[in-house]
Amino acid sequence: MSGGSRLGPAGRTMLAALIGLALWQAVVSLAGTPPFILPGPARVAVALWVNRALIASHALTTITEVLLGLALGTLLGAATAVGLAASPLARSLARPALVFSQAVPVFALAPLLTLWLGYGLTAKVVMAVLIIFFPVTSAFLDGLMATPAGYLDLARCMGATPAGIMRRVRIPAALPSLASGLRLAAVYAPIGAVIGEWVGSSRGLGYLMLLANGRAKTDLMFAALLVLAVFTVALHAAVDRAARRLGEEARGG
């Protein structure tokens, strides 16, 4: 049995992180890069510790934006997918509009959202919702439309109503597809929030990175970026675990 196979997911993640840090330090040492261009891991760790209170304060804002956006985007996307799956007319009208909406870069809407909704929390949450809405809706809708025909025929033979079929057959069968959409949403939601902070904000990790960059504090910028990356990985892991449990419960039911 190889050493890699003996490591669990956490162990493999830790090993990959250590390899990445070693490569990072090697690049800094061999290239002699100035710290204001690319600080080494040790310098970033010092900046993270010295500015821990400042970073934690801004991280709390970003985490709040991301979690609210993820929750609202998931609810809105799932509800939209169920509505489209239940109505052929709505599907024929709205599905092309959903696809067309992806032709407009969501990032380009960030300045408009800031103009309309201000510099507070709302604009960032809406930005996160917009960026995850399509993946959740698309993945869940595909799952709802791919319900095995045998399941549907059996439910109809037993006298189930369309609403009952949706609730007891189609939605449980489509939960793995919804889980795939949620895994993507967990990665995209922080991107939406940070883009919103870059465009206009006075709080958040995105704002802190811009502020540090403008003051040539590259080590602080990397420290904020590291916190954002760790949070995104942790959020993806939590969503993945919840999605696996949801799938197991659906199969068991």
- Residues 44-63: tens digit of each pLDDT: 999 999 999 999 999 999 99
Q: Is the pLDDT of residue 151 over 70?
A: yes
* Residue 168: CB atoms within 10 Å: 14
Structural domain boundaries in the chain: 1-32, 39-252
Condensed to tens digits (0 to 9), the pLDDT of residues 173-210 reads: 999 899 999 999 999 999 989 999 998 888 999 999 99
**What is the spatial distance between Cα 23 and Cα 195, in angstroms, rounded to a whole number?**
28
Condensed to tens digits (0 to 9), the pLDDT of residues 86-140 reads: 998 888 888 778 777 777 787 788 888 888 988 889 999 999 999 999 999 999 9
Span 38-43, average pLDDT: 91
At 1 the pLDDT is 44
**Burial of residue 192, with CB atoms counted within 10 A of its CB: 0-12 exposed, 13-18 middle, 19 or more buried:** buried
Q: How confident is the model at residue 7 (pLDDT cuts 50, 70, 90)?
A: low
**What is the spatial distance between Cα 74 and Cα 10, in angstroms, rounded to a whole number?**
27
At 99 the pLDDT is 77
For 49, 69, 207, 219, 229, the CA distances from 35, given in Å and listed in that order, are 17, 35, 21, 8, 21
Q: Which two tokens stand for residue 131?
A: 């960026």
Which single residue is written with the structure tokens 């590291």? Answer: 226
Helix (H), strand (E), coil (C) string for 2-26:
CHHHHCCHHHHHHHHHHHHHHHHHH
Condensed to tens digits (0 to 9), the pLDDT of residues 211-247 reads: 999 898 999 999 999 999 999 999 999 998 888 887 6
The CATH code of the domain at 39-252 is 1.10.3720.10
Condensed to tens digits (0 to 9), the pLDDT of residues 67-78 reads: 999 999 999 999
Q: Which of 102, 121, 124, 118 shows the shortest CA–CA distance to 192?
A: 124
Q: How confident is the model at residue 5 (pLDDT cuts 50, 70, 90)?
A: low
At 252 the pLDDT is 61
DSSP secondary-structure letter at 109? G
Condensed to tens digits (0 to 9), the pLDDT of residues 12-37 reads: 778 888 898 889 889 888 888 888 88
Q: At what angle are helices 41-50 and 52-86 packed, to 10 degrees?
A: 90
DSSP H or E run through 149:
helix 149-157
